[in-house]
A and B are shown apart, each in its own frame.
Chain A
Amino acid sequence: MTILPHLLVTTLGVQALGLEGKDIVLAYSFGYGIDLVDHPIKLPLYLKKNGRKNEKHYHWRTPLQEPVALMWIIPLSVYLGTYVPALFFISHFVLDYMVSYEKRPFYPFSTYSTEGILRKYSDTQKEIWTCIMCAALIAVLVLVKR
């Protein structure tokens, strides 16, 4: 998904769980920030193939934001003594798996690829509904906490 749903879901999670201090940093890093690290990696390949032209469904993703990354994120969570990285990373890839571009969840250990879940609904619809629901829930949480 695009920036906004990831940000909203992460914010919702932070609010709902009442996270504080370093947990907030970890939540935004693994719920959203992982995108910022991931996409530039394949930029040289994209530019070589397409120049400045847009290729809508280019495979930007690396194993950094696929479920296979749980293999390192879970030990890291154990090391840090917090469930936050694993939980927010799961929220990140669940959102991504709602959008219909190609994903290789277990690469490099399996070449299995999928276009994710809820494919009968349009990506735009899913993004809009995710944003509306998250924004509404964040508003409710903020009001309740007051």
Chain B
Amino acid sequence: MANNSDGILRIPIRIAHEKLGLSPNQLSTIGFIIGTGAAFVIVIGNLVGGLVLLAISQIIDGLDGGVARRYRLQSAKGQMLETIYDRLNELMIFLALAYVGHVTYFMAVLAFVAIILVTIVEPLSKFDPGFKRFMIYFGYLATVVFHVQGFQMAMHVIFFANLIAFIVGTIMVDYRLQKDIDTQAIIRREREITMGIPQPPDDPPSFLSKLFS
């Protein structure tokens, strides 16, 4: 299924695959290497340079999925590789920001743990709000514009957004299961009624149903 970014990145997607002959996995690896470079550049004290590299790595991250979708090269292995690269990149960027003192190690680790939780449940829930590396730019913006500890605030947002996404994700999966179970029970009951099979007696009214009736 086409993604919104596929339209925006239409030309680079074509160039990357048709002119440069790059596969989605190769693009993922290049994005990962640039993301690693971004963390390194932040560690040596060039924050803006690091963020620029991070943005480039994220654009390439968008290209790999775009190439995979457009040229029907999607694979479970590629998907897994991309997820691993993304998580490693996030960890490195968070730790780099902690190393230079923009965030605490405590919040960097907690934010990463929350992201891992969403990563675990997302294949089942198909729900991911995307509050990850992208929030770093807002952190930078808040730091520059409002002179606050923007990166630290970004870590708090990443932590809570992903924690909530994990909770919502688990509930969504459970709700779907319950809906299926109930639907089957309703169909079975209706079929039995049609066939004239006697139904088990209703459970006696509960305290609450007595209260509200």
- A-to-B contact residues, CB < 8 Å: 41-42, 45, 48-49, 52-56, 59, 62-64, 68-69, 71-72, 75-76, 78-79, 104, 107-109
SS class of chain B's interface: helix, strand, loop or mixed? helix
Q: CB-CB < 8 A to B4: which residues of A? A: none
* Set A53, A59, A68, A76: member contacting B178, Cβ < 8 A: A59
Is the CB–CB distance between A108 and B124 below 8 Å?
yes
* Set A48, A54, A63, A75: member contacting B174, Cβ < 8 A: A63
Is the CB–CB distance between A76 and B173 below 8 Å?
no
Which residues 98-124 of B sit at the A interface, judged by CB distance below 8 A?
Answer: 110, 113-114, 117, 120-121, 124
Is the CB–CB distance between A45 and B171 below 8 Å?
no
Is the CB–CB distance between A68 and B163 below 8 Å?
no
User: Closest Cβ of chain B: how far from A103's Cβ, in Å?
Assistant: 12
Which residues 125-139 of B sit at the A interface, judged by CB distance below 8 A?
Answer: 125
- In the complex, whether B196 has a CB less than 8 A from a CB of chain A is no
Cα A68 to Cα B166 in complex, Å, equals: 11
Q: CB-CB < 8 A to B114: which residues of A? A: 75
16 A-B contacts, Cβ less than 8 Å apart?
A48-B186, A53-B202, A53-B209, A54-B203, A56-B203, A62-B170, A62-B171, A62-B174, A62-B175, A63-B167, A63-B171, A64-B167, A69-B167, A75-B114, A107-B174, A108-B173
User: Closest Cβ of chain B: how far from A22's Cβ, in Å?
Assistant: 17
Is the CB–CB distance between B178 and A45 below 8 Å?
yes
- In the complex, whether B18 has a CB less than 8 A from a CB of chain A is no
Q: CB-CB < 8 A to B177: which residues of A? A: 107-108
User: Closest Cβ of chain B: how far from A54's Cβ, in Å?
Assistant: 5
Is the CB–CB distance between B174 and A76 below 8 Å?
no
User: Closest Cβ of chain A: how far from B29's Cβ, in Å?
Assistant: 30
- In the complex, whether B11 has a CB less than 8 A from a CB of chain A is no
Cα A53 to Cα B202 in complex, Å, equals: 7
Q: CB-CB < 8 A to B117: which residues of A? A: 71-72, 75
Question: Which one of A52, A64, A71 has the highest number of Cβ atoms from chain B below 10 Å of its Cβ?
Answer: A71
User: Closest Cβ of chain B: how far from A100's Cβ, in Å?
Assistant: 15
Cα A52 to Cα B209 in complex, Å, equals: 7
User: Closest Cβ of chain B: how far from A127's Cβ, in Å?
Assistant: 13
Q: CB-CB < 8 A to B125: which residues of A? A: 108
Cα A72 to Cα B175 in complex, Å, equals: 18
Q: CB-CB < 8 A to B179: which residues of A? A: 45
Chain B 199-213, CB-CB to A under 8 Å as 1, else 0, gives 000111110010011
Cα A109 to Cα B124 in complex, Å, equals: 9
User: Closest Cβ of chain A: how far from B81's Cβ, in Å?
Assistant: 22
Is the CB–CB distance between B178 and A75 below 8 Å?
no
With A41-B175, A72-B117, A75-B110 in contact, do A54 and B206 touch (Cβ < 8 Å)? yes
